[in-house]
Structure formats: C-alpha cells, structure tokens
Structure 1
Amino acid sequence: MIYLPVDSLDVRHNFALEYYLMTEKRPSEPVLLLWSTTPTVMLGKFQTAENELNRPFIDAHHIAAVRRLSGGGTIYTDQGGCQFTLITPDKDTAIDFSSGLSLITGALNQIGIKAQNDSRNDLVVDGRKVSGSAQYMINGFRLHHGSLLFDANMDWMAQALQVDPVKKQAKHINSVHQRTVNLIEQKPNWTAQEFKRKLEKALLNITGAQIGYLTAAEKKHLQEIAGQRFSETAVWRSDNRKFDHVHKRYLTGIGVVSVAFNLDQEQHFSAIHLSGDFFSNINLQQFERSLIGKAYQQRVVTPIIEHQLQQSPIKGLQPEQLTELLF
C-alpha cells in the first residue's frame, strides 16, 4: 500500500487527486489518503442540490460546494474533521464498504475510539453517526471515501444541509444533530489536528504503507482536472424539466429513491428522471433513455428495469421495488 500525504484543504483539488489516481496514474497497489477541507458541502452524484442544500446560507458563509462522483447523501466537512480515501485495484463492480470500514474502524479502535459499523455505510459511536462513506468504480479501480467528524461545526452543518422530509419521517429525526456526534466527546483533550495525526499513525501502523509523493507536474495537472470535473457550477446546474408525477420513498438500507416522469397523450413516457442518495454506478442517461417512448404499463416496464439494474445495480434495491415505486 502507498500513503500519499495531502496538504491541500481545497476539496476540488482533493477530488481531482482521487480521479487522477484512478484514471491516469492507475497504481498497481492500494493507495490511502487522509485529508481535510475548508467548510464544504459535498453533494452525492444522484442528488438534486435544491433538495439538499441551503444555498443562501452556503453563499453567505462562503462554504465550498462540490458534487461527488460517488452516490450517497450530502455531507458537510471542515477542518474540525478529516476525510479518508482508499483506492484499490478491483475488477469487482459491486459496491462493498466492508474492507474500507474495517480498516478505519481498526485504526479508530487503536487510538481508543470504539467505533463500529452501522447500517449500509456509516460508523457510529454509542449509536450516533461519526462517519459516512461513499464509493464508486472506474476502469478496474474501486474508490471508497468517507468523512470523520471530530470537532466539526455542527451549527453550520445543520444550517447548510436540508434533510429530505421523506428521510426525516422514515428515520424519526428532526435535525442533523439528532443522528450525528463529534468524536471530541470521546477525546475532549485532543485537537482536530492531534486526532488526524494519531489516526494517520495508526493507519500507517496497520497497513505498513510506504510514503509516496506527487511530482510538480502532477500537482499542476490536478488544477486542470479540478476545474474540468469539479466546478461549482456543476453543483447548482439543475434539471429544468417540469414533471407531472413524482414518486419518492425512503427504503431501509437503500436510501431515498425518487422517480419523476411525464406521460404523453398516449400514456408513453416522454420524460423521466431518477434521483436519490442511493449507491450505484448506474448511467442515469442510459437508464432514462431506455424508458422514453415506452408505454406506462407494468408488463412493459418490468423487463426494462430488470435489464438496466442487472447491468448496473443500485445497492440493496431489487428491480421490483423500483417498478412498484413507478406505479
């Protein structure tokens, strides 16, 4: 394993680094990163910004906004916490958080924090969330990245993020504070910087990773990738289509799944959009094209959805669940 030290607090630079490693550097062994950001909100790949983010607050407080290449939900990060990234050569395209979470849990336990895995992608301490993860695959590489809250600004988190009412109702929560906690409650004498240093030491001890470095040319190239792939305009660019039908549900172990669609006079799909905080490598444009022009009939739609999800599964979701949501 290679450990690459990351000094940048710019989320776009750090996402560009992840992307560069997977698509161009293509290492022959796993790569581990540990990094932090200035105040930032990270939108999941399949989410809609208007539903998840409080833009007036984000703009007023100069909070960076970026869309991830991974699915899952929106998170808030700042220098009161840190992010981890594990990039692994892997031909398996199924989303699987187990190995990455085991590594992080082992490191946390080694520094005296008794975290454990809970639900699909979270780590909890005493039943409250301290870490969320997301994942995506590109060309034979798996990327697992996640956040760790140590002394994050919970007030800013609560105001910057909008929890979907469907999720609020399903999970019986009223605010972000109800389900998240800072690890400083476990280690009140540590600073966020001390926490990150101790975690780094534990990870290096567990993995035996060798320290790697980027060249000046590589660092310059990351600036280009950041501008091309992770611009702020991509976060706020919205789908301007108006939909007559919107069916949304929170599915345990899967997340929020929303399907919006229009039908023409003959009751054929004229427009459709799938969104949510689920995990998948699905190509949304391809999925939507497969249904345009098809009759809004369960016998017609069922085999199409089965084929699409067989090609690119949504983690935990059975085809019949999506069909049921449509109808």
Structure 2
Amino acid sequence: MIYLPTDSLDVRHNFALEYYLMTEKRLLEPVLLLWSTTPTVMLGKYQTAENELNRPFIEANHIAVVRRLSGGGTIYNDQGGCQFTLITPTQDKAIDFTSGLKLVTRALNQIGIKAQTDSRNDLIVDGRKVSGSAQYMTDGFRLHHGSLLFNANMDWMSQALKVDPVKLKAKHINSVHQRTVNLIEQQPHWTAAEFKQRLEKALLSMTNAKTSRLTPAEENRLQTIAGQHFSEAAVWQRDHRQFDHVHKRYLKGIGVIAIAFNLDSQRCFSAVKISGDFFSNINLEHFEQSLIGKAYQQGAVAPVIERQLQQAPIKGLHPEQLTALLF
C-alpha cells in the first residue's frame, strides 16, 4: 500500500487528487489518503441540491459545497473531523464496503475507539453514526471514501443539511443530530489533530504503507481537475423541468429512491428523473432515456428496467422494486 499525505483543506483539491489517482496516475498498489477540510458539505452523485442543502445557511457561513462522484447521501465535515480514502486496483465492478470498513474499524479499535459497522455503509458507536462511506468505480479501480466525525460542528451540520422526511420517518428519528455522534465522547482529552495523528499511525502500522508524494507538476494538474469536475456552480445547477408525478420511497439497505416523470397524451413517458442516496455506478441519463416513449404499463417497463440494472446495478435493489415504485 502507498500512503500519500495531503495537507490541503480544500475539498476540491482532495477530490481532484482521488480522481487523478484513479484515472491518470493509476498506481498498481492500493493507495491510502487521510485528509481534512474546512467546513464543507459533500453532495452524493445522484442527489438534488435543493432537496438536501440549506443554501441560505451554507452561503451565509461560507461553507464549501461539492458534489462527489460517488453515490450515497450528503455529509458535512470540517477540521473537527477527517476523511479517509482507499483506492484499490480491481476488475470487480461491484460496490463493496467490506474490506475498507474492516480496515478503518480495526484502526479505530486499536486507538481505543469502540466503533463497528452497521448493515449498509456506516460506522457506528452505541448505535449512533460516526462515519458514512461511499464508493465509485473507474476502469480497473475502486474508490472507497468516508468521513470520520471527531469534534465536528454538529449544530452547523444540522442547519446545513435538509434530511428527507421519508428517511427520518423510516429510521424513526427526528433529525440528523439525533442519529450522529462525535468520537470525542469516547476520547474527551484528545484534539481533532491528535485523533487524526493516532489514526494515521495505526493505519500505516497495519498496512505497512510506503509514504510517497506528488510532484509540483502533478499538484498543478489537480487544479485543472478540480475546476473541471468539482466546481461549486455545478452543484447548484437546477433541473427546471416540472414533473406531474413523483414517487419516492426509503428502502432498507438501499436508501431513498425518487422517480419523477411525465406522461404524454398516449400515456407514454415523456420525461423521467431518478434521484436518491443509493449506491451505483449507473449512468442515470442513459437509464432515463431508455424509458422515454415507453408505455406506462408494467409489462412494457419491467424488461427495460431489468436490462438497465443488469448493466449497472443499484446496490441492494432488485429490478422489481424499482418497477413497483413507478406504479
């Protein structure tokens, strides 16, 4: 394993670093990153910003906003927490959090943090979330990145994020604050910097990682990638279409899935939009286009959905569930 230290607190730089390592550097060994950010909200690839983010609060407090290339839900983090990234060469195209979460959990346990995995993609302490993970794939590589909350500003988190009422109801909670906790409750005498240093030491010891750094030319390349793929303006771009039908559901182990659509005078799909906090490598534009012109009948739609999900599955979702949601 190779460890690449990064001192940047700019989430766009750090996401650009991930992307560069996945698509251009393409190292033949696994890569580990451990990094922090200024106050930042990170939107999942398939989410809609206006549904997830409190824009007036975010802009008033100069909180950075970025859309990830991975699915999952929106997270908040700041210098009171940190992020981990694991990039693994693989030909397996399935989303799988097992090995990454196992490594991070072992490291946390080693430094005296009693964390464990839950059934999906989170790490929890006493039933409350301390870490959320997400993944995306490129040709030949899997990227697993996640947050770790040590002493993050929970009040800002609560005000910056708008959690879907469908999800809150399904989880039997009233707010994001109720479900999350800072790890400082377990180690109240540590600073966030000390937590990160201890975690770094444990991870390097467990993986025998070799430390490496990028060249100045490579660092310059990251600036270009950040502008191309992680601009704030792109997050706030809106889909101005008006939809007549919106079907939404929280599916345990999968997440929130919403399907908005219009039908023409012949009861055929004329517009479709799918969004949510699910995990997938799916090209939603291609998926949505595959339904345009199809009759709004289960017999016509079911084979299309099955073919699309065979090509790019949504983690945990059976095609029949998505068909049922449409109807």
Q: TM-score, normalised by structure 1?
A: 1.00
Partner of 1:70: 70
Partner of 1:154: 154
Deviation of 1:319 after TM superposition, in Å, equals: 0.2
- Distance, in Å, in 1 between the alignment partners of 2:187 and 2:111 is 10
- Distance, in Å, in 1 between the alignment partners of 2:47 and 2:102 is 27
Deviations 1:242-282 (A, max 9, x none): 00000000000000000000000000000000100000000
Deviation of 1:309 after TM superposition, in Å, equals: 0.3
- Distance, in Å, in 2 between the alignment partners of 1:78 and 1:86 is 20
Partner of 1:249: 249
Give the secondary structure class of the aligned counterpart of 1:5: coil
- Distance, in Å, in 2 between the alignment partners of 1:280 and 1:15 is 18
- Distance, in Å, in 1 between the alignment partners of 2:240 and 2:67 is 18
- Distance, in Å, in 1 between the alignment partners of 2:226 and 2:158 is 27
- Distance, in Å, in 2 between the alignment partners of 1:244 and 1:298 is 19
Deviations 1:155-181 (A, max 9, x none): 000000001010011111111111000
Partner of 1:264: 264
- Distance, in Å, in 2 between the alignment partners of 1:133 and 1:238 is 26
Partner of 2:209: 209
- Distance, in Å, in 2 between the alignment partners of 1:169 and 1:177 is 14
Partner of 2:178: 178
- Distance, in Å, in 1 between the alignment partners of 2:119 and 2:150 is 21
Deviations 1:179-235 (A, max 9, x none): 000000000000000000000000000000000110000001100100111000111
Corresponding position: 1:144 with 2:114: no
- Distance, in Å, in 2 between the alignment partners of 1:307 and 1:222 is 37
Give the secondary structure class of the aligned counterpart of 1:190: coil
- Distance, in Å, in 2 between the alignment partners of 1:212 and 1:241 is 47
In the TM superposition, 1:294-313 aligns within 5 A as 294-313=294-313
Corresponding position: 1:24 with 2:24: yes
Partner of 2:113: 113
In the alignment of these two chains, the number of paired residues is 327
- Distance, in Å, in 2 between the alignment partners of 1:81 and 1:28 is 29
- Distance, in Å, in 2 between the alignment partners of 1:138 and 1:319 is 24
- Distance, in Å, in 2 between the alignment partners of 1:221 and 1:126 is 43
Partner of 2:196: 196
- Distance, in Å, in 2 between the alignment partners of 1:299 and 1:55 is 41
- Structure 2: runs of 5 or more not aligned: none
Deviations 1:15-72 (A, max 9, x none): 0000000000000000000000000000000000011000000000000000000000
Deviations 1:131-173 (A, max 9, x none): 0000000011000000000000000000000010100111111
- Structure 1: runs of 5 or more not aligned: none
Deviations 1:91-142 (A, max 9, x none): 1111000000000001001001110001200000111100000000001100
Give the secondary structure class of the aligned counterpart of 1:9: coil
Percent identity, aligned pairs only, is 79
Partner of 1:133: 133
- Distance, in Å, in 1 between the alignment partners of 2:17 and 2:224 is 11
Partner of 1:318: 318
The residue type equivalent to 1:215 in the other structure is T
Say what the alpha-carbon RMSD is for the aligned residues.
Answer: 0.4
Partner of 1:288: 288
- Distance, in Å, in 2 between the alignment partners of 1:188 and 1:116 is 19
The residue type equivalent to 1:207 in the other structure is T
- Distance, in Å, in 2 between the alignment partners of 1:92 and 1:293 is 34
- Distance, in Å, in 2 between the alignment partners of 1:229 and 1:74 is 17
- State the 4+ residue runs in structure 1 displaced beyond 6 angstroms: none
In the TM superposition, 1:35-54 aligns within 5 A as 35-54=35-54
Give the secondary structure class of the aligned counterpart of 1:145: strand
The residue type equivalent to 1:28 in the other structure is L
Q: TM-score, normalised by structure 2?
A: 1.00
- Distance, in Å, in 1 between the alignment partners of 2:56 and 2:170 is 27
- Distance, in Å, in 1 between the alignment partners of 2:160 and 2:18 is 25
The residue type equivalent to 1:273 in the other structure is K
- Distance, in Å, in 1 between the alignment partners of 2:236 and 2:11 is 16
Give the secondary structure class of the aligned counterpart of 2:151: coil
Corresponding position: 1:124 with 2:124: yes
